[in-house]
Homo-oligomer: A and B are copies of this chain.
Amino acid sequence: MASQNVQDFTQGNETYASGFNDGDLKGPPSRKLAIVTCMDARMHPEKILGLKNGEAHMIRNAGGRYDTDARRSLVISQRMLGTREIVVIHHTSCGMATFVNQDLCEVVEKDLGKDARTHADKLDWLPFKDLEQSVKDDVQAIKIDPLIQDVPVHGYIYDIKSGKLQHVC
């Protein structure tokens, strides 16, 4: 028996596919644009930015941080799929500003046991305290990355309460 979520998104996809007519779009994003943002459920970035199917790569993780995997994705986006402009978007009320590494590791131990804690202790979970600074840090990390080079990188904060985007850098 499929879960309620599976039943619902299967139905949701049937509705989507029945009206779908974007099957001829090419892989390289038409706006040559790549966005790095948070996984937060309250953000549907394409809607927030008014983007259409096929226009921009969307890289999302906890916090919208520029870590090793966002780097992997962004380099592939630039070198193999032709993007030439990058936007970093973090947001207000982000869960990543509510804990430090040790807090996460303690929850892991309580929920999953001591062996799991050992794994968790080895990782940096990339929380942050200062939202604006986290945007500046990630924009700067991209700008100085020898694997990116010479493309415009913009930083923004999305306001969860108002739906508005605010330019940072």
Residue numbers of A with Cβ under 8 A of B are: 3, 5-6, 8-13, 15-17, 20, 22-23, 25, 27-34, 39-44, 46-51, 53-62, 67-70, 72-73, 75-77, 79-81, 85, 87, 93, 95-96, 98-99, 104, 107-108, 111-112, 115-116, 119-120, 123, 125-126, 146-147, 149, 152, 154, 160-165
Set B27, B40, B111: member contacting A40, Cβ < 8 A: B27
Q: Are A41 and B55 in contact, with the CB atoms below 8 A? A: yes
Residue of B nearest to A93 (CB): B27
Distance of A82 Cα from B31 Cα, bound (Å): 35
Set B17, B32, B115, B160: member contacting A25, Cβ < 8 A: B160
Distance of A160 Cα from B50 Cα, bound (Å): 21
**When A40-B27, A48-B13, A80-B99 are in contact, do A61 and B62 touch as well, CB less than 8 Å?**
no
Distance of A24 Cα from B47 Cα, bound (Å): 18
Contacts of A12 in B (CB 8 A): 48-51
Top 5 closest pairs, chain A to chain B, by CB: A12-B50, A69-B69, A20-B163, A29-B41, A17-B163
Q: How far is the CB of A23 from chain B (nearest CB, A)?
A: 4
Q: Are B10 and A165 in contact, with the CB atoms below 8 A? A: yes
**11 examples of A-B residue contacts, CB within 8 angstroms:** A3-B152, A8-B50, A13-B50, A27-B40, A27-B42, A40-B57, A59-B60, A61-B72, A72-B123, A81-B95, A112-B147
